[in-house]
Amino acid sequence: MRIALFITCLADAMFPDVGQATVRVLERLGHSVDFPAGQTCCGQMHVNTGYQKQALPLVQRFADVFEPYEVVVAPSGSCVGSVRHQHQMLAERFGTPQLVTRVRGIAAKTYELSELLIDVLDVTDVGAYFPHRVTYHPTCHSLRMLRVGDKPLRLLRCVDGLELVELPAADECCGFGGTFAIKNSDTSTAMLADKMRNVLSTGAEICTAGDSSCLMHIGGGLSRLRTGAKTVHLAQILAATRQEPMVLASGRQDAPPHSGPEAVL
Amino acid sequence: MSAPVMLGMPALPPTSPRGVGNLRGDEKFPVAARHALADTQLRRNLGKATGTIRAKRAQVVSEVPDWEELREAGRQLKVHTMARLPEYLAQFEGAVTARGGVVHWARDAAEANAIVLDLVQAKSVDEVVKVKSMATQEIGLNEALEAGGIAALETDLAELIVQLGHDRPSHILVPAIHRNRAEIREIFLAEMEDVDAGLTDEPAALAGAARQHLRRKFLSAKVGISGANFGVAETGTLSVVESEGNGRMCLTLPETLITIMGIEKLVPRWQDLEVFLQLLPRSSTGERMNPYTSMWTGVTPGDGPQEFHLILLDNGRTAVLADAGGRDALNCIRCSACLNVCPVYERTGGHAYGSVYPGPIGAILSPQLTGIEDNASLPYASSLCGACYDVCPVKIDIPSILVHLRARHTEAHAAAHRVPSAEATAMAAAAWVMGNPTRWTLALRGGRLGRALGRKRGVIGEVPLPVVKEWTDARDFARPPKQTFRDWWATERGRT
C-alpha cells in the first residue's frame, strides 16, 4: 500500500527519529511511504490557543497536500485528533462547503500509527526487538478522542524482548496540554510530578506513548530530575529490530535510532 | 459589555452584573493556582476526596446496563428544553401559579436579592434557614440578606462549616472539601452557640453537634429559602435532591418557602425526572439513590409551607443561550462529576477559579455568565484531557466549549484593541511561517541555532528567558536535531 506520512510540525522540527522510525516500520512491512513536502502543520496549536481563523490556511494546505493519497498516517494521536475533530469545524466556520466535504473525506483516511497498523494493515507483530522494561502512557487524545483502546499495548506485547509493565493511574493526563504547559506551568508541573511518580513506580527504564508532545513533557521532567528513566516514541520501539537494535546512548535524548550501518532501504 | 453594536445587529443579552454575587475571583487562575498548589493540606484533602468519589462513581455507573442510553436521553432532554426555553418557562409559571405558588422573574443577581429581601422583611423575621443552593451562592444572597439585617443560616453541614468559618465554598457538591476535621472542630468551638466545650474531632461528634444546633433552628424558623435541582414545566413541581435531610426540614417546616431557581433547571414533563434521578445521584455522590428526594408543587392547604414564592433567575443565562457554541453549558445538572475527575481541579481546588462554579463546568459556565473578559483565564485552565466529557451525565462536550471560548476571547480582544497582543502577534507569525513549506523549511533550519545550548548534558536545562522559562523551570528540553525530518528525507531519500 502507498502511505502518505504526515510527520507533524513537532516531529519535523525536534524529533525526526520518530518520523524515520515510522517510515522504517511501514517499509519493513512491505509498504511504500511518501512524504509530500508541501505539508507543514495541522493547526492544532492555533485552534487550541484560540486563534481559529489563523489556522484555516493550515487546514486548506493539509487538504491540498493529502487529498491525492489513499491513506495518511501520523505518529501523533493529538494531530490526528485535530484533523478528525477540528478541521471540519474550521472549514464550516471560515471555509466553503466544498472545503468541508474535502476535509471530511481526508479525515476519514487519516490514521494514528497504531490505528493504521492494526485496523488498516491488519498487523500486530511488526517484527520488532526491544529488550527493555517499558511502561505505556495512553495520551489523552489517543485515549478519549481517537479511542485507540489497547491497540498500542497489543503492538507492544508482540515486541520481542520487551518487558511491558502496566502504568498505575495511566488514564490521568500528564499535564502537557499544549500551551497549557506554558500558561499554567505550575499546574502542568504538578500533574507531571504525579505522572513521573507513577512511571518510576513501575521500575521501567522507558516510558512510551504515541505522542511526541506528551513524551517531550514527561521526558523533560524525567531528565531534569536525573531519574534514570527516559521516553521513547512507540514508533521507535516498533522500528527497532535484532539486526538494527535501538541503542539508548546514556544521557542523550537525541540518541541515533540504531547503531548498525545505515539501513539501505 | 464594551463592544459597539453595529446598526441592525441585535445586542447580546446582558451578562451577570459586576459588584454583586460570587462569579468572579480576585486573581487570574494561574496566579491563584500557584498558591493553591503549595497548600499541602488542600492537595491531600482534594486528592483523597476526589479519588474516593471517582471510585464510587465508577462502581455504581458500571452497574447500570443502559448508562450510555441514559446519558444520551439526558442530553437530548436538556437540548430540547433549551431550544424551547421561553415556552417551557411560560408553561411552568402557569402550572406553579395554578397550584397557589407566586412566581417572580429576576433579571439578575441584584434583582433576585431585592425580591428575596422584600419577601423576608414582609414576614418580620430576622432569621431564615437555607437549603444548600448554588444559585443563592452565585447571587450572593446571604450577603444581601445580612446587609438587610436578616441572618441566613445554612443547614447543609458543609455549607454550615463554610458559613461559620467565614469562608467560600470550593466545590459544588462538597463545599468544605478544603477543610479537615481538626479545622472543623475549631470552627464549631469558636462560632457555634451552645456548643459543648469538650467537642472532639470525631466525625460522629461533629455531626452530632451540627445536628443539635440545626434542630433548634429548623423547629423555630418561619421562612425557608432553597434552590432547586429540577423544575417540571408540565406540573409546576420543584425538586431538591439531597443526602442529609436538612432540605426536607427546610422545605416542610417553615410557613413561608422561597425558592430561587436558575431558568435552565427546567425539564419538560414529570416522567423526565426518571432519567435525571438516575443520572444525578450516581454521578454526584456515587450512590445508587440519594437518601432524600423532595418534590413540591405550589401550596397544599394545611400541609407544609402555606406561602410559596418561586424566583426564576436569569443572571446571564440568556446570554449563554445566545451562543450556539457555548449554550450546552446550561444543560448542567450540577452533579460535579467533572470536578471529581479533573486533574487540574484535583490539584488546585475550587477557590483558584474565583467563582462558586469551579472545575470544568465552571471554566465554561462562569465566563459565559459574566462575560468572558471578567473570567478570561478560566477557559485556559485546562489541558483539554477530556476526562470531564466522559463522565458528564448529560454529555456536555466541555473540551470543545473550552476551545470555543478561547476563540471568543481572542477574537473579542482583537476587535477591541488596535494593537494585537504579543501572543496574537506570535501566533500570526507562526501561522505565516507554517503557511508556506519553503518558509517552514527555512525556519526549521534556523532552529538548529538552539544546538548552541545543552552541550554539557545533551539536553537543554534552565533558560532564563520569558515564556521559555515557563518550560525550563521544571523540565529539560531536547536539543534541536542536527537535521530536520524533511531535510533528512530530501538528502537521504534523494527526493524533495
Q: What is the ipTM of this complex?
A: 0.94
**Chain B contact set for A35 (CB, 8 A):** 485-486, 489, 493, 495
Could you give the number of structural domains in chain A?
Answer: 2
> Is A212 a member of any domain?
yes
**B250 Cβ partners below 8 Å, 6+ apart?**
B129, B130, B131, B155, B218, B221, B224, B225, B226, B257
Residue A35 touches partner B, C-beta closer than 8 Å: yes
Nearest CA in chain A to B489: A35
Residues A99, A6 share a domain: yes
The neighbouring-strand residues paired with B311 are B104, B260
Nearest CA in chain A to B29: A184
The CA distance from B238 to B234, in Å, is: 11
Measured over the CA atoms of residue B6, residue B12, residue B16 and residue B17, the dihedral's sign is: positive
Residues A229, A144 share a domain: yes
Determine the average pLDDT of the residues in B22-36: 97
Phi, then psi, of B257 in degrees rounded to 5: -120, 130
Q: In this predicted model, what pLDDT tens digit does every residue of B195-247 receive, in sequence order?
A: 999 999 999 999 999 999 998 888 899 999 999 999 999 999 999 999 999 99
CB contact under 8 A, A187 and B33: yes
**Chain B contact set for A47 (CB, 8 A):** 403, 407
pLDDT, position B170: 84
The CA distance from B305 to B256, in Å, is: 5
Residue A257 touches partner B, C-beta closer than 8 Å: no
CATH number of the domain within which A216 lies = 3.40.50
The CA distance from B63 to B68, in Å, is: 12
Instruction: Give the nearest partner residue to B479 out of A50, A185, A254, using CB atoms.
Output: A254
Could you tell me whether strands B237-242 and B230-232 are parallel, antiparallel, or unpaired per DSSP bridges?
A: antiparallel
> Is A265 a member of any domain?
no
> Is A157 a member of any domain?
yes
In 3D space, the residue among B291, B299, B239, B295 whose CA is nearest the CA of residue B265 turns out to be B239
Q: In this predicted model, what pLDDT tens digit does every residue of B413-457 receive, in sequence order?
A: 999 999 999 999 999 999 999 999 999 999 999 988 889 999 998
Residue B41 touches partner A, C-beta closer than 8 Å: no
Phi, then psi, of B154 in degrees rounded to 5: -75, 140
Shortest Cα–Cα distance, A23 to chain B (Å):
10
| Domain extent for A108 | 2-120
CB contact under 8 A, B430 and A219: no
The CA distance from B204 to B162, in Å, is: 18
Shortest Cα–Cα distance, A104 to chain B (Å):
18
* Residue B495, pLDDT above cutoff 60: no
Phi, then psi, of B411 in degrees rounded to 5: -70, -40
Nearest CA in chain B to A42: B434
> Is A167 a member of any domain?
yes
The percentage of residues in chain B with a pLDDT greater than 70, rounded to a whole number, is 99
**Chain A contact set for B436 (CB, 8 A):** 40
**Chain B contact set for A78 (CB, 8 A):** none
Output the CA torsion B474→A214→A130→A226 (10° steps): 0
pLDDT, position B64: 97
For chain A positions 168-207, those within 8 Å of chain B (CB to CB) are: 171-173, 175-192
> Is A189 a member of any domain?
yes
Alpha-helical regions (H) of B165-303: 181-191, 203-220, 246-252, 273-284
The CA distance from B51 to B343, in Å, is: 11
* Residue, of B9 and A112, whose pLDDT is higher: A112
pTM, 2 dp: 0.95
B256 by DSSP, 3-state: which? Answer: strand
The CA distance from A253 to A231, in Å, is: 8
Nearest CA in chain A to B30: A184
The CA distance from A163 to B453, in Å, is: 35
Residues A138, A63 share a domain: no
Residues A137, A108 share a domain: no
The CA distance from A213 to A188, in Å, is: 13
**Chain B contact set for A20 (CB, 8 A):** 485, 488
CB contact under 8 A, B409 and A187: no
Output the CA torsion B110→B111→B117→B123 (10° steps): -170
Instruction: Report residue A151 as a C-alpha cell.
Output: 491497540
Per-residue pLDDT of chain A (265 residues; tens, 9 = 90+): 999 999 999 999 999 999 999 999 999 999 999 999 999 999 999 999 999 999 999 999 999 999 999 999 999 999 999 999 999 999 999 999 999 999 999 999 999 999 999 999 999 999 999 999 999 999 999 999 999 999 999 999 999 999 999 999 999 999 999 999 999 999 999 999 999 999 999 999 999 999 999 999 999 999 999 999 999 999 999 999 999 999 886 544 554 443 322 222 2
Amino acid occupying residue A18? V
Residues A153, A193 share a domain: yes
Q: Which of B114-128, B164-178, B453-467 has the lowest mean pLDDT?
A: B164-178
Provide the CB-side half-sphere exposure for A191 (13 A, CA): 29
In 3D space, the residue among B21, B134, B26, B16 whose CA is nearest the CA of residue B354 turns out to be B26
Determine the average pLDDT of the residues in B309-329: 98
Tell which of A20, A184, A213 to mutate to test the B interface (max B CBs under 10 Å): A184
* Residue B494, pLDDT above cutoff 90: no
> Where do the structural domains in chain B lie, given as residue ranges?
432-492
> Is A251 a member of any domain?
no
**Chain B contact set for A181 (CB, 8 A):** 470-471
In 3D space, the residue among B213, B277, B290, B242 whose CA is nearest the CA of residue B132 turns out to be B242
**B286 Cβ partners below 8 Å, 6+ apart?**
B53, B55, B56, B57, B58, B59, B60
In 3D space, the residue among B413, B383, B19, B473 whose CA is nearest the CA of residue A184 turns out to be B383
The CA distance from B155 to A155, in Å, is: 56
Determine the average pLDDT of the residues in B183-192: 93
pLDDT, position B9: 78
**Chain A contact set for B380 (CB, 8 A):** 179-180, 183-184
Residue A59 touches partner B, C-beta closer than 8 Å: no
Amino acid occupying residue B299? V
Residue A144 touches partner B, C-beta closer than 8 Å: yes
Instruction: Give the nearest partner residue to B474 out of A61, A171, A185, using CB atoms.
Output: A185
Nearest CA in chain A to B36: A187
CATH number of the domain within which A65 lies = 1.20.1050
pLDDT, position A250: 57
Provide the CB-side half-sphere exposure for B106 (13 A, CA): 27
The overall average pLDDT reported for chain B is: 95
Residues A217, A139 share a domain: yes
